[in-house]
A and B are shown apart, each in its own frame.
Chain A
């Protein structure tokens, strides 16, 4: 069931596609059973603001947003507000609040898409935070996607992680690149040789990912 099966009707099944599918499916289930789902999409274009604190905070606030804000959380906020200029919560604070929140919920799913798109310096800290959550709240389930090169990073923190490879179909990528080249705004700058090189290099790069 690997590789080509992931493609139907010439439409690509990408990890981002999968993430949103899994998230929606879990949310649908959540409507019937008592489960909570928190999702996060990492993005190259938002790297600077997607710090570990902000990501963990974003997961926390989705779980918190399901019910009433706890007294402890409210107090932590009031305390931070009183400090000069106010300050954002520290990672340790966020992790404490996340643990408490998860413990109050029957079952929690955390989904993070495109982990490799967060800042490289953030990845170890983020994975460490997730590992701590799993250790302390064993009913938590974590769904991750990312380019294959971070598989080792993930296995370093989660030795028994189940890895499902999703391969792209090169024919579709070739067609897509050719379509983009046909629509190029400066066709006079293109030669047959350059065109062939562009298609070849992009396909090579993609198969390396």
Chain B
């Protein structure tokens, strides 16, 4: 698993966050602990998955969907809990997932 890249980005943020006073060593220890906390919350790394899916994506397809009334309303809705959920029902992929 490519957990390293995630840890590195967390570390980077912490170095710039200004909440750590002390030597470079302390900073390092703290970001290592942050990475540990992240792994404790969940061992899964959905960011990696998103990058893989994005690389597989068909380009120039579906942009219009982002402009539909349903999506815009869902996206812009303020404070209305009953309009909180949008569900796209269909197949995840043609072939890749279930036509192995």
Interfacial residues, chain A to chain B (CB-CB below 8 A): 1, 5-9, 11-26, 38-41, 43-44, 46, 49-50, 53-62, 64-65, 67-69, 73-74, 77, 80-81, 88-89, 94, 97, 113-114, 117, 130, 134-135, 138-148, 150-151, 154, 158-168, 172-173, 176-177, 180, 202, 206, 209
Interfacial chain A residues near B38, Cβ < 8 Å: 61, 64-65
Quick check: B37 and A77 within 8 Å, CB to CB? Answer: yes
A157 to B62, CA, bound (A): 28
- Asked if A6 contacts B62 (CB within 8 A), the reply is yes
Across-interface contacts of B41 in A (CB, < 8 A)? 57-58, 60-61, 64, 89, 94, 97
Residues A162 and B70 in contact, CB atoms below 8 Å apart: yes
Given the known inter-chain contacts A134-B81, A140-B84, A147-B89, please indicate yes or no for A61 contacting B42, CB distance below 8 A: yes
Contact of B43 among A23, A49, A154, A173 (CB under 8 A): A49
Q: Which residue of B63, B66, B84 is within 8 Å of A142 (Cβ)?
A: B84
CB-based contact B44/A172 at 8 Å: no
Chain B hits for A176, CB < 8 A = 94-95, 99
Q: State which of B14, B81, B90 has its C-beta within 8 Å of the C-beta of A145.
A: B90
A57 and B42 CA atoms in complex are apart in Å by: 5
Chain A residue with the shortest CB-CB distance to B50: A39
Can you list 7 A-B contacts (CB < 8 A)? Answer: A5-B64, A11-B61, A68-B19, A88-B40, A97-B41, A162-B74, A163-B89
Say whether B44 contacts A139, CB under 8 Å: no
Q: Which residue of B lies closest to A1 (CB)?
A: B68
Distance from A31 Cβ to chain B, minimum over Cβ atoms (Å): 15
Identify which of A13, A97, A114, A160 contacts B61 (C-beta below 8 A). Answer: A13
User: Once the chains are docked, how many angstroms separate the CA of A139 from the CA of B83?
Assistant: 10
Interface centre among A16, A23, A74 (most CB of B within 10 A): A16
